[in-house]
């Protein structure tokens, strides 16, 4: 499965031999995340994701029934999933909570028990303005961010940190999971502040190279490198640069002359 990881260690030896690979990516539960954490370093991984989360920014115009359904859809993932409501309208919190109670009770098992447990650690935040709603969302950097407001695109444009963004009442997170096509492996736990979801870029490498044909034209860079190397106490580096200098004699040659 990964360089340095014996196949017999996978799943207690019950998995047949898997060829080594360079990168392991994709979604999964806490066991998948634990496995990724073990092989990380032996091979590349996309991220250590989970628990799953959704944050809905809404105002008083939002459809409370729809918002409740989206919160429950996230809560049924796992008992440690988080469903968060952020709004500038205190009245909609009660309406959403009412729909959540009725809708979650109608779920089949084990979804109902899972969602109820997750909802115990989910919460709502009432803000003084939509700007404050956006600020809280950016601080949390949720895996899934839904915006259901009268001016949803305008609010969405204000948001900076998230895994996946779903704009407007018609754009449910579940459609991103199964229908519309955006990636389903997204950063969680605030990591959306510095990284994004799984994409083609996970399979690309940035490789740098340089070539210098004109030794005269690069002398300013050579001189700078000599100075910088000596400031860092790396004399060998400085002398390697001096070997390419047109104006400075390498120190090891000067030492031979002095002796």
Q: Is 99 a catalytic residue?
A: no
Q: Divide the 259 residues of the chain into consecutive groups of 10 and give the mean pLDDT of each group.
A: 42 67 86 91 90 96 98 95 97 98 97 97 97 98 97 98 96 87 86 92 92 96 96 96 90 73
Q: Which of 143, 146, 173, 242 is catalytic?
A: 143
**Given the DSSP bridges, would you call strands 164-167 and 23-24 parallel, antiparallel or unpaired?**
unpaired
- Residue 82 bridge partners (DSSP): 53
Tens of pLDDT, residue by residue over 176-200, are 888 887 778 899 999 999 999 998 8
Q: Residue 99: name the closest of 133, 147, 143, 62 by CA.
A: 62
Coil, strand or helix: which one is 87?
A: strand
Q: Which of 53, 144, 173, 242 is catalytic?
A: 144
Distance separating alpha carbons of residues 80 and 75, to the nearest angstrom:
8
Q: Is 76 a catalytic residue?
A: no
- Token pair listed for 39: 């092989």
Distance separating alpha carbons of residues 57 and 173, to the nearest angstrom:
13
Q: Full-prediction pTM beyond 0.85?
A: no
Residue 100 is predicted with a pLDDT of 98
Distance separating alpha carbons of residues 148 and 60, to the nearest angstrom:
9
């Amino acid at each position: 499965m990964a360089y340095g990881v014996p196949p017999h260690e996978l799943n207690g030896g019950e998995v047949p031999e898997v060829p080594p690979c360079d990168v392991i990516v994709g979604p999964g539960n806490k066991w998948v995340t634990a496995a990724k954490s073990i092989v990380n370093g032996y091979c590349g991984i996309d991220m250590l994701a989970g628990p799953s989360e959704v944050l809905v920014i809404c105002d008083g115009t939002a459809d409370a029934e729809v918002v409740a359904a989206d919160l429950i859809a996230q809560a049924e993932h796992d008992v440690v999933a988080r469903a968060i409501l952020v709004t500038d309208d205190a009245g909609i919190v009660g309406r959403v909570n009412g729909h959540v109670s009725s809708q979650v009770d109608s779920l089949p098992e084990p979804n109902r028990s899972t969602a109820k447990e997750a909802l115990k650690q989910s919460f709502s935040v009432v803000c003084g303005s939509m700007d404050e709603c956006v600020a809280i969302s950016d601080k949390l950097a949720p895996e899934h961010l839904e915006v259901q407001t009268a001016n949803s695109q305008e609010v969405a444009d204000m948001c900076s940190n998230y895994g996946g963004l779903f704009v407007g009442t018609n754009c449910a997170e579940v459609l991103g999971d199964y229908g519309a096509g955006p990636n389903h492996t997204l950063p969680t736990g605030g990591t959306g502040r510095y990284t994004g979801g799984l994409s083609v870029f996970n399979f690309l490498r940035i490789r740098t190279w340089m070539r210098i044909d004109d030794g005269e034209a690069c002398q300013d860079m050579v001189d700078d490198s000599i100075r910088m190397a000596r400031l860092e106490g790396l004399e060998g580096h400085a002398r390697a640069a001096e070997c390419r200098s047109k104006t400075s004699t390498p120190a090891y040659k000067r030492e031979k002359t002095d002796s």
